[in-house]
Structure 1
Amino acid sequence: MGLFFKIIGAIFLLFLALVVGGYFASPTLTVEREIYIDAPAEDIFPYLNDLELFAQWSPWTAGRPDASYVYGEAIDGVGASVMWRSSDADDAAISSQEIISSQAPEFVQSALLLNAEPASVTYALLPDESGRRVGVFIQFEKDVGGFPYMQRLLKGGDETALGRDFDAALLRLKTIVEAG
């Protein structure tokens, strides 16, 4: 019986350590990526600001031929929105994106709902000194949960997976823009 209580005590202490560790971890998952594209910002901006063009390279929707999309009244600029659902078992929830801020040809900011979890993403265009190429910068942010705070300790896996998705999406964007 004493061994049983020691095991229960050890499990409780482990749980308590995870809660305390998670409390002090950042509550926000942030992923940032950048790629340089050999094109002027004016040629790149429509792929960030027009949701139909965005779907060609998007980290959320590209590569999902089974997804069905429903666009709002506007497809570009502030207020443009799209909703989608994939038939994947892992992606059964409806996801959406709405452009909440846009300034041509500098940046686009969107509010997301990815599998029922709110997030935000900003796409910025930063021309280099030569003026021949433009850096496309993505900053993604999502809250990762409150008590018992353990989700904060597990966000490293999400950062890695999202980083790969963003890298692939930016490479698709580079290919599309430079080929056009």
Structure 2
Amino acid sequence: MWNDYSEGKQTYKQLANKYHCSLRTIQRYIQKAPITQLKPPESKYLNLIIDTTFFRREFGVMVFMDTNSKKVVYYQIVKTEKDIYYKVALNRLREKGYVIQSITCDGRRGLLKDFMGTPTQMCQYHQVAIIMRGLRKKHQSQAGKELKEIAITLKNSTKNKFYLNLYDW
């Protein structure tokens, strides 16, 4: 049950249906489960995706995942999202001997610079989200409609193809 919950990303309701018991029973089992330690990645070279997700106003989880191994290599419970938390976490990974080859993050101003020369980029989801915020759902102008179409192709385009689409637009 714990593996289904933690690795299979199952909700309490889905687990209750699968194991034919109440939602409360599932919650009790999960709360009693021992907390497992993160398994260190096999390679010392990391390409990280980093982000913080908030579940309540002052309860968030900052997560660092290695794209090569698809494993979480660091997490921390936080009350706010501050650049210093990310920098401290990166330093802890470096102190353990990991070489951080690249970082993909949500585009916070402080995160996209000053990571000790590590190549850093904004994730495509956040790039598209920023563009979409500036456009209406049903944009009136032809230019707005075209820009929306180009933005949607970002995740499937090569860098050159995307630049060409923008240039042609």
Note whether the superposition's TM-score is higher than 0.5: no
Greater share of strand: 1
TM-score by length of 1: 0.24
TM-score (norm 2): 0.25
Query: Per residue, is there more helix in 1 or in 2?
Result: 2
